[in-house]
Amino acid sequence: MCGIVVAVAKNNVASVLLEGLSQLEYRGYDSAGIALMNGGFHRLRTTGRVAELNKIVNERKLQGKTGIAHTRWATHGEPSEHNAHPHFSGEASRIAVVHNGIIENYETLRQRLQAAGLKFISDTDTEVIAHLITFNLERTLDLFEAVRDSVTELQGVYAIAVMEEARSDRIVVFHNGTPLLLGLGTSGNYAASDASALIQVTKRMIYLKEGDLAELYCDSYRIVNCFNGSMSEVDRIVHESKLTTEDLGIGSYAHFMQKEIFEQPSVAANILEEIFNTNSASPQLFGDAAKHIFTQIDKVLILACGTSYHAGLVARHWLETVAKLTCNVEIASEYRYRNPVIQANTLVVGISQSGETADTLAALSYAKAFGHRYSLAICNVAESTLTRQTDLCFLTRAGPEIGVASTKAFTTQLTGLMLLAVVLGKLHGKLSNEDESKIIGALRHLPVSLNRVLRAESEIKVWAKKLSESQHILFLGRGIHYPIAMEGALKLKEISYIHAEAYAAGELKHGPLALIDKDMPVIVIAPNDELLAKIKSNLQEVRARGGKLYVLADNDSSVESSSGLEVIRLTEYAGLLSPILHTIPLQLLAYHIALIRNTDIDKPRNLAKSVTVE
Ligand code: AGP
């Protein structure tokens, strides 16, 4: 999604803005731009990468001590230079604007502004903001007030930064839903969509709250909140970010996705540190109020999108099996428009890597507005919007995930969700001490098992070669591994652009079996669980129709390679944790197929890391 970087400093900020943009590249974008103040606006925009923008900024020797920069992920209007940010208000503009999010009433506003004689150059909703602020600036003569008045008319979830030609010492920013934080430095002040863009200059960050309007000067700043009825200054806590430049580096890997796949044993160890010396999991892992809340609830509702939704689907099995609790898992973008039945004693769990996914945040607010009393975030980003909106929080501590395709975030979400099932099972009297310590023991062993599974990479590479020319691939799983098949198909689609679909293997005969022929490879997850015999029958159904089978099994699964059927054995059967282990080869497979197909693995086309618009 769009990324914003803003700087007002003592020295030239061009390189700070460009470095900030390159740190935000992982969010996904299709064009980039920058405007610097230096005796007037100097703006450059390109549909190329940030590196291309960097090159032209250097060629033209663009400089300025105040500037705004942006990566755009197109929503209104095609990716093109004229739609790229920063936007002006007409040719002789007094202001420059960058924007993340969507202005829902932009058409009405556009018509009104056009009727007032204003000309539009782009197809974006952002240009409406530029014109509206300029319009109000004529009256207020002060940018801060003009932005304050303008935002009362803008509907939607968004963040903006505005720079005024007449005041080169100041930038005004407004936060309403999509992420924006301030960075307080020693030789300047900054703002950005996330902390990774600013740690090059400061670790002191302020996470703005909904409705916060801030003005930044080189050595001071002021924040008011437009939604609290008073325009008096508000105090916001200054946080010390724990991010390091090392966290954001790629190390010796070719891609962030590859690095993040191989980090999984160590991030699993991070998360499990807290249970290392015990045989039980404490409710405290989820926050101070967890014990009280967990004993009140009698159901769980999980809301999430994409990969995080798949984690929720696995968790449903665990919550049913381990904690004997009813659990519903909903796609957040669907749930937010339903009329759910209120079940006050339901624990609503929002799962999100970024903690900024617009649909997940909206679904959670919707569930709360509907009367669901208790909420928990399973999230990878401390201080994200999600973690600030829930009663309880479990941080997955996977470190920054830069590759658009989620990998380590998923397996750490699963680890956290298993701990949740254990804690709830214990508190509700459904899990014996003995079973609890068995699960905890298996969890402690997880980093070792993950390392073993990663060793299957060379065999996976052989599969990748065979599968890289495929047009379509089918993924099959059953029970707790069906969501893993869904995750494998999603991973493959998003980075290799091969069409992939996942089916619960028992559903084959209800339709998809018609697709099977020699050109339809089928990847099957076949661990040694109670459904192995059923899966084996499904394998026969595919073989009988000429389908080529690629089977992921553990050491104990009694499936053998034969003509048209290739088996990769992973490690010993991991019981309830088996889905975590079977995810790894599917991540590796997607990665190696994408590598062969030479796609942009970390920044796949059309996708964004942090989906901050609906
Ligand atoms: C995963 O590979 C995807 N890029 C995507 O499905 C992602 O999981 C989804 O957008 C949800 O993001 P979140 O976890 O940050 O909320």
- The whole-number average pLDDT for the span 168-177 is 93
Query: What is the value of pTM for the model shown?
Result: 0.81
Shared domain for 131 and 182, answered yes or no, is: yes
Residue nearest to atom 2 of ligand 1 (CA): 405
Domain identity same for 11 and 76: yes
Please indicate, yes or no, whether residues 117 and 144 belong to a single structural domain of this protein: yes
Report if residue 614 sits inside a domain.
no
Q: What local confidence, expressed as pLDDT, does residue 573 receive?
A: 85
**Domain annotation covers residue 250:** no
Tracing tokens 């989620």 back to the chain, one arrives at: 406
Dihedral angle sign, alpha carbons of residues 514, 464, 503, 509 = positive
Residues 430 and 467 both lie in one domain: no
Task: Tally the domains of the chain.
Answer: 3
Q: Is the CA virtual torsion 174, 177, 179, 181 positive or negative?
A: positive
Name which residue sits closest to atom 5 of ligand 1, judged by CA.
306
307 C-alpha vs ligand 1 centroid, how far in Å? 5
Share of the chain above pLDDT 90, in %: 73
| Single residue among 240, 264, 290 that ends a domain in this structure | 240
Residue 611, domain member (yes or no): no
Compute, in angstroms, the gap from residue 308 CA to the centroid of ligand 1: 6
Whether 44 and 181 map to the same domain: the answer is yes
Same domain, yes or no, for 213 and 343?
no
Q: Is 404 in the pocket of ligand 1 (CB under 6 A)?
A: yes
Q: With 90 as the cut, is the pLDDT of residue 185 above it? A: yes
Grade residue 382 by pLDDT with cuts at 50, 70 and 90: confident
In a domain, 569, yes or no: yes
The reply to whether 286 and 176 lie within a common domain is no
567 sits in which H/E element: strand 565-569
Please name the residue whose Cα sits nearest to atom 4 of ligand 1: 405
Tokens of 251: 């190390």
Do 432 and 350 have their domain in common?
yes
For residue 613, name the pLDDT band (cuts at 50, 70, 90): confident
C-alpha–C-alpha distance, residues 584 and 399, integer Å: 18
In this structure, what CATH number is given to the domain that contains residue 224? 3.60.20.10
608 belongs to a structural domain: no
Q: Say yes or no: CB of residue 352 within 6 Å of ligand 1.
A: yes
Q: What residues make up the domain containing 491? A: 457-597
Inside any domain, residue 251: no
CATH number of the domain at 502, please.
3.40.50.10490
Average pLDDT over residues 562-569: 92
Give catalytic residues, as residue numbers: 2, 609
Last residue within a domain, chosen from 412, 444, 476: 444
Burial class (CB in 10 A: 0-12, 13-18, 19+), 133: buried
Q: Burial code of 548-577, b = ≥16 C-beta within 10 A, e = fewer? A: bbbbbbbeebebeeeeebebbbbbebbebb
Name the DSSP class of 312.
Answer: H
Mean pLDDT of the region 243-261: 87
Average pLDDT over residues 46-63: 94
* Cβ(260)–Cβ(402) below 8 Å: yes
Is 384 near ligand 1, meaning CB less than 6 Å away? no
Phi/psi for 242 (5° steps) reads: -95, -5
Asked if residue 418 lies in contact with residue 378, where contact means CB atoms within 8 angstroms, the answer is no
User: Do 65 and 214 fall within a single domain?
Assistant: yes
**Residue-averaged pLDDT of the chain:** 93
Task: Give me ligand 1 centre to Cα 353, in Å.
Answer: 7
DSSP 340: P
- Are both 312 and 194 inside the same structural domain? no
Cα–Cα nearest to 454, from 259, 247, 254: 259
How far is 529 from 527, CA to CA, in rounded Å?
6
Backbone angles phi, psi at 3, to 5 degrees: -125, 140
Are both 530 and 575 inside the same structural domain? yes
Q: Are residues 113 and 12 in the same domain?
A: yes
State residue 244's pLDDT score.
Answer: 80
Residue pair 191/6 in contact by the 8 Å Cβ criterion: yes
Q: 180 in a domain, yes or no?
A: yes
Ligand 1 atom with minimal separation from the 360 CA: 16
- Quickly count: other Cβ atoms within 10 Å of residue 502's Cβ: 23
Single out the residue in 199, 214, 240 at which a domain terminates.
240
Q: Is residue 452 part of a domain?
A: no
pLDDT score of 246 more than 80: no
d(CA 87, CA 106): 15
CA of 351 to the centre of ligand 1 (A): 10
**Closest ligand 1 atom, residue 608 Cα:** 4
